Structure 1
Amino acid sequence: MQAWQVHELGEPGEVMRLAEAERPTPGEGQVLLRVRAANINFPDALMCRGQYQVRPPLPFTPGVEICGETEDGRRVIANPALPYGGFAEYAVADAAALLPAPEALDDAEAAALHIGYQTGWFGLHRRAGLEAGETLLVHAAAGGVGSAAVQLGKAAGATVIGVVGGAAKAAVARELGCDVVIDRREQDVVAAVKEATGGRGADVIYDPVGGQAYAQSAKTVAFEGRIVVVGFASGSIPSPALNHALVKNYSILGLHWGLYNTKNPKLVQHCHEQLTGLAARGAIKPLVSERVPLAGAADAVQRVADGLTTGRVAVLPSQENGAAA
């Protein structure tokens, strides 16, 4: 089979190599999956750089989220068991963690439903307790993680403010359903949020960016608001002033979705059922901006790493499968 492999750490576009490899052999409790679509996540780039909390042994195949097909023909969503990731024709995954791919979504959309939407659902509902009528602010609203949060916020009945970088991403955020879109390159984010909320601020802030975005969050969070820390795509990890959280009476909530897979996997299953229902009635639909063949994976991972994409980019080991599903 063909598989992308990383033999040394560095930028994805430089260290990912497409090679012929043996099909992985499932271990105890694992299954072999034919990869129908693999979704690119920012952690794939971090893993190539050696900057992710999970560091698989070299060489490894990136790709942490797929829609695959079991040997008995079932279409499933899975997180491949590294080092045999999803940017390959075949991958392996833990049998107990397989989730049925929603019938309402094609392969690429199904692959994009898992990590980003699970993270959004847990962040907004389990951690922040978002309620209908509240205001949700989403940083990087046109990105893969942010676009999921926007759709989930709208589905929950919230007013959604999306912060993006650039006119093209602003257009995407509007199409996703943002009630207010703020272009951080052209506008003062803090002033724009205060204007949009009548000076009150946002009840829930969803931050996958960190750095300056977090500083803006602390200045725009409402009384009894909640800042959900999802990641640090900016590369800068902020050090929040806890006295500021005390004085303004807001909460800072961390979210590591992957922990639920080991700490409370039943909640992951429950979340998937909720997401499947939302997809069935059209309330959410992953934004897949690009579908690239397996040969284009390294370039696509690099573009995601560089912040040049919107929504999700899917890798299709079989163009036929991805296009027709």
Structure 2
Amino acid sequence: MRAWRVTRTGEPVDVLELHEIERPEPAPGEVLVRTSAVAINFPDVLLARGEYQVRPDPPFVPGIELAGTVAALGEGVDGVAVGDRVVGSKIGVLAEYATVPAEAVRLAPESLDDAAAAALTIAYQTAWFGLHRRAALQPGEWLLVHAAAGGVGSAAVQLGVAAGARVIGVVGSEAKAETARAAGAEIVLVRGRDDLIPAIQAATGRHGVDVVFDPVGGDAFAVSTKTIAFEGRIVVVGFAGGTIQSVRPEHALVKNYSVLGLHWALYQQLRPELVEAAHAELAALAAAGRIAPVVDDVVPFERAPEAVQRLAGGATTGRLVVRVADR
């Protein structure tokens, strides 16, 4: 089978090579998936650069999120059958076949095509756990989403709207503003064009925002602490802006807000039943047309390094998906 492999650390377009390797066999507790589509995530960029928290030795297959069809089952696997259309997550799926732990595989929503289904798991699970499990978002609350045109940001906007929140989206350029609006953001602000703090205060009638979803960090986090409402909750999802901010506990004390961390993979490892419940909720929302992954582009398997490099450049909106094979 064909697989893209990182042969050394560096920029994705320079270090990803297409190799012919043996098709894996599922071990006990694993599912072999014939890959239809792989959604590209920022960890794929970091894996290529050798900067991710997990650092496999080259050569290794990147890719962490897929949609496909079950081709074989390892011993002891139940809940899915050969021929089922599934989604799943694990490092090593940017290949024509991939083995995935059975607990990380779920039936794909029938309402989503392969590209959208491939983009569902990580972004929407991250947004769902951030908004509902960590921040307990309530109807009518103000929700501020940074990087609201990105994959996880647009998911947070859609889920916020579905939960009855009033959503303010912050984007990096006017070109990205329409994506955030289409996702459902009531107000969209552009970094560098709008004066964010007074604009947020004015939009909320000086109430401030009740929940912040922040995958950016750095200066974005500073804006959040200055616009957070009484008993507000800031969910720290990542640091795509490149700066890991310091949290000032004395400021949180004086303003009476909370800073909550979110590492979604820990739920998959420690509380998989919660991930299963969230997937069922997401599938129901997708079937009702209340959420739909924003897929910016679908590229053929042969151009996978280009897609990873485009994501590294930071100019994309929504998700980039690699089409591996047609069902």
Q: Which amino acid in 1 is paired with 2:174? A: A
Match in the other structure for 2:58 = 58
Match in the other structure for 1:73 = 83
Q: Is the 8 A contact 2:200 2:227 kept in 1?
A: yes
1:119-156: per-residue Cα shift (whole Å, max 9, x none)?
11110000000000000000000000100000000000
Q: Which amino acid in 2 is paired with 1:73? A: G
Match in the other structure for 2:74 = none
Match in the other structure for 1:127 = 134
Match in the other structure for 1:93 = 100
- With the length of structure 2 as denominator, give the TM-score of the two structures: 0.95
Distance 1:25 1:257 in 2: 27
**2:302 match: secondary structure:** helix
Where in structure 2 are the equivalents of 1:267-286 lying within 5 Å? 267-286=274-293
Within the candidate set 106, 110, 114, 2:113 is matched to: 106
Q: Is the 8 A contact 2:147 2:169 kept in 1?
A: yes
Match in the other structure for 1:10 = 10
Identity %: 58
Distance 1:269 1:3 in 2: 29
Aligned length, in residue pairs: 317
1:142 pairs with 2:152: no
Distance 1:96 1:274 in 2: 17
Match in the other structure for 1:36 = 36
Within the candidate set 177, 180, 183, 2:184 is matched to: 177
**2:87 match: secondary structure:** strand
1:177-223: per-residue Cα shift (whole Å, max 9, x none)?
11000001211111211111111211000000011111111111111
1:86-105: per-residue Cα shift (whole Å, max 9, x none)?
22111110123310000010
Match in the other structure for 2:234 = 227
**1:131 match: secondary structure:** coil
Q: Which moved more, 1:68-77 or 1:136-145?
A: 68-77
1:3 Cα deviation from its structure 2 partner? 1.0
Match in the other structure for 2:164 = 157
Distance 2:195 2:69 in 1: 47
1:167 Cα deviation from its structure 2 partner? 1.1
Distance 1:145 1:44 in 2: 15
Distance 1:265 1:95 in 2: 11
Q: Which amino acid in 1 is paired with 2:299? A: V
1:56 Cα deviation from its structure 2 partner? 2.0
Distance 1:187 1:232 in 2: 21
Distance 1:55 1:27 in 2: 22
Distance 1:57 1:140 in 2: 32
**1:91 match: secondary structure:** strand
Q: Is the 8 A contact 2:103 2:272 kept in 1?
A: no
Q: Which moved more, 1:250-259 or 1:6-15?
A: 6-15
1:54 Cα deviation from its structure 2 partner? 1.5
Structure 2 gap ranges (5+): 72-81
Match in the other structure for 1:240 = 247
**1:181 match: secondary structure:** strand
**2:242 match: secondary structure:** coil
Q: Which moved more, 1:205-214 or 1:24-33?
A: 24-33
Match in the other structure for 1:27 = 27
1:20 Cα deviation from its structure 2 partner? 1.6
Distance 1:159 1:56 in 2: 42
**1:136 match: secondary structure:** strand
Distance 2:194 2:234 in 1: 21
1:312 pairs with 2:282: no
1:57 Cα deviation from its structure 2 partner? 2.5
Q: Which amino acid in 1 is paired with 2:237? A: V
Distance 1:25 1:211 in 2: 43
1:259 pairs with 2:266: yes
Match in the other structure for 1:215 = 222
Match in the other structure for 1:167 = 174
Q: Which amino acid in 2 is paired with 1:291? A: V
Distance 2:104 2:179 in 1: 33
Distance 1:317 1:307 in 2: 23
- With the length of structure 1 as denominator, give the TM-score of the two structures: 0.95
Match in the other structure for 1:294 = 301
Distance 2:206 2:107 in 1: 44
